[in-house]
Amino acid sequence: MAEKAKGKKETAPPEKGAPKAAPKAGEKPAAAPPAEAPAGKPEEERPAAKPKGKKKPKIRKKEKGAYTRYKVGDTGFTRLRPYCERCGPGFFMADHGDRFACGHCGFTRYKRE
């Protein structure tokens, strides 16, 4: 179909073993061509990319205030959970139904039934 123009010379593609020109100072070398897949193995199809849309904002947990640890009464306030025996005052133990556990040091005290 397409005829070659008269007078132009055909150039052969460079061979793989042929030396390449070194890049000039201050220039980055050209990127290497992508590697070919090994022969005999069919290429796996990649799943179609999902369309990018608006992301849902993450729901942050609200910090629990002091009202969850103390109960205010007529005579003052009382602690609802015990302090940790190892860590001392200021470190409340978590209530897990059948036991109390310290989140700081891992100490566990089982409830009596």
What pLDDT sits at residue 30? 63
Given a cut of 70, whether residue 31 has pLDDT beyond it is: no
Nearest to 81 by CA among 42, 39, 46, 109: 109
Mean of the pLDDT values across residues 6-21?
Answer: 60
Reported pTM: 0.42
Report domain extents, the chain: 66-110
The band of 100, judged by pLDDT with boundaries at 50, 70 and 90, is very high
What pLDDT sits at residue 56? 85
Percent of the chain topping pLDDT 70: 60
Given a cut of 80, whether residue 69 has pLDDT beyond it is: yes
pLDDT mean across residues, the chain: 78
CB-CB contact of 50 with 57 (8 Å):
no
* CA dist., res. 99 & res. 113, Å (int): 11
